Amino acid sequence: MDFLNGNVTISLNTSLLIIISLVILSLLVAVVFLVIKLKKETQYKPKYGFLGKTLYPAVTVALLVTGLVMTGISMNDQKIFEIKAQKQIASEIYTNILQKGVGEDLINLKATPSVDDKIWGQFGDKFDIYWDLQGPKEYSFIELKKTNEDRSGLQVYVVPGEYKVSITIVFEDSVYIFSKEEVF
């Protein structure tokens, strides 16, 4: 019986302590209520309720069961539901040829994202833009933390041909993909 000689520590968080106190308090109120009821029953009075029985014990039990169920639900750490407003994101992709060369053309790539129809969103909104050009040759470029003050813009050399220009915009932990066909 060595486990009886050891120290026992019980830790309760505030919400659990309040709930236990409320349950004990409600049990004390129920006992006091029943004592008062028994004291009144010693006098002759007609009974009211369901099938000649009073409803006080049933109401007391229902309140206790409801309290226990609510205690169980409140102790559950999982979220029952989560509502999150999704912002509407759109983007324009601008491309133009700056210089035609032999074997390679210098092109300009720009992306202009809009958040809820406001170009570049609110002050301080940051966008990570990932470029992907697929055509005769594949190219990938990254622009991080672009804002209204530091806008998107790349000048790169590409092999002439037909390309699918795709951008992936990461904004507030959400991913948005836009694309268009272009010939350089």
| pLDDT for residue 120 is more than 70 | yes
First to last CA, the chain: 85
CA 22 to chain centroid: 32
Report the SS3 class of residue 59.
Answer: helix
What is the reported pLDDT for 43? 63
The tens digit of pLDDT for each residue in 48-58 reads 666 666 677 77
- What is the pLDDT averaged over residues 95-122? 86
Dist CA 84 CA 47 (whole Å):
54
What is the reported pLDDT for 4? 55
| Average confidence score pLDDT of the chain | 80
Q: Which two tokens stand for residue 68?
A: 């226990």
Share above pLDDT 90 across residues of the chain, in percent, rounded to a whole number: 2
What DSSP string runs through the chain? -GGGTS-------HHHHHHHHHHHHHHHHHHHHHHHHHHHHTS-----SBTTB-SHHHHHHHHHHHHHHHHHHHH--S-S----PPPPEEEEEEEEEEE--SS-EEEEEEEEEEETTEET-STT--EEEEEEEESSS-EEEEEEEE-SSS---EEEEE-SSEEEEEEEEEETTEEEEEEEEEE-
Q: Which domains does the chain have, with CATH numbers?
A: 2-75 (no CATH), 89-183 (2.60.40.10)
Nearest Cα residue to 55 out of 66, 43, 44, 47: 47
Q: Which two tokens stand for residue 175?
A: 């991913």
Q: What number of other Cβ atoms are within 10 A of residue 127's Cβ?
A: 26
What is the reported pLDDT for 64? 85
- What is the pLDDT averaged over residues 74-82? 61
The tens digit of pLDDT for each residue in 10-47 reads 666 777 778 888 888 888 888 888 888 877 766 655 55
| pLDDT for residue 1 is more than 50 | no
What is the reported pLDDT for 130? 92
C-alpha distance from residue 134 to each of 84, 88, 159, 178 (Å): 35, 27, 11, 14
| pLDDT for residue 170 is more than 50 | yes
59/161: higher pLDDT? 161
2/106: higher pLDDT? 106
| pLDDT for residue 61 is more than 60 | yes
The tens digit of pLDDT for each residue in 125-154 reads 888 999 898 888 888 888 888 888 888 888
